[in-house]
Amino acid sequence: MSILTFLARRFIAGEKIEDALKVIRKLNQNGITTTLDILGENVKSEQEAAQKADNYIQALEMIDKEKLNSHASIKLTQMGLDVSDGFCYDNVSRIFEKAASLNNFVRVDMEGSDYTGRTLDLVYRWHEAFPKMGTVIQAMLFRSLEDIKELNRRKIRVRLCKGAYREPKQIAFQDRRDINTNFLTLTKLLLREGVYPAIGTHDEKLIEATREFAQKEGIGKDKYEFQMLYGIRRGLQLRLTQEGYNVRVYVPYGTHWLPYYLRRLREKRENLLFFISNFFRD
């Protein structure tokens, strides 16, 4: 067994939808909600992208049938963004239509900075037709402050994360301390003006700063949630849940786990250190 396979067993629910549903069911039993992610990126053909959308539609139906508490998260390059914006819009709209019929929520994930503007343009269009959706903003990008202001203005739900992609210094913070400072600035803006923001971090200092700010501002625990990755800081996830905070865990599954992790590990040295260090802790 390779080291990557060994690591993946901790952080990936499995290769089949049934594997993911089993994980979601267990998390739900512990009071934790989830976001389902079918692994895969940079699809180049309409046929494959359409099949990926069909997989999400099937997953949403199974989540509803089993009465599980789970949203879904999609990456647009898996849905055909590299084919064309028009095709991607129509393809993803099928997922939103299904989610709306089931009263569920779908979040459009954020990829590298080359896709940020195009992703947000599509998100603005989708939100007009399907209000029960949201997107993701990365704190490491300089543009994120203005993007969050616009998303707040449009009442679009945001998940804030630090960002896992290697970005040039001309457009992104490079020092971890600067990223953390901006993360907290954006968190405060989302808590004040956003719509049920999701604070995506495993950093206990940022979590504590978020809790202190919310308490100081009189923002209830039901007005936001913390989001974390499956298999990482499991003890912290349970502890926050037991303290009355809303916690949602990102549950990835699929056969494309190897290229997904290889790409993340190649992107930034910090990603490799992050996964290895979290393998040995709850």
Q: What is the pLDDT of residue 280?
A: 55
pLDDT in the model for residue 270: 58
Measure the CA–CA gap between 186 and 173, rounded to whole angstroms. Answer: 14
Q: Which of 167, 172, 216, 170 is nearest to 191 (CA)?
A: 216
Q: How far is the first Cα of the chain from the last one, in angstroms, to the nearest whole number?
A: 23
pTM greater than 0.85 (yes/no)? yes
Residue ranges of domains in the chain, CATH in brackets: 3-279 (3.20.20.220)
Cα–Cα distance, 259 to 266 (Å, whole number): 10
Q: Quick one: which of 232, 161, 146 has its CA closest to 199? A: 161
The reported pLDDT for the residue numbered 1 is 47
Percent of the chain with pLDDT over 70: 88
159 is catalytic: yes
Give the model confidence (pLDDT) of 184-232 as tens digits.
999 999 999 999 999 999 999 999 999 999 999 999 999 999 999 998 8
Confirm if 136 and 188 have CB atoms less than 8 A apart: no
Sequence-distant (≥ 6) Cβ neighbours of residue 31 within 8 angstroms: 241, 242, 247
How does the average pLDDT of the chain come out, rounded? 92
Q: Around 43, how many Cα atoms within 13 Å sit in the side-chain half-sphere?
A: 25
Name the more confident of 12 and 100.
100
pLDDT value at 277 more than 90: no
Residue 8 has pLDDT above 70, yes or no: no
Rounded mean pLDDT of 146-156?
98
Residue 177 designated active-site: no
Which of 107, 159, 233, 234 is flagged as catalytic? 159
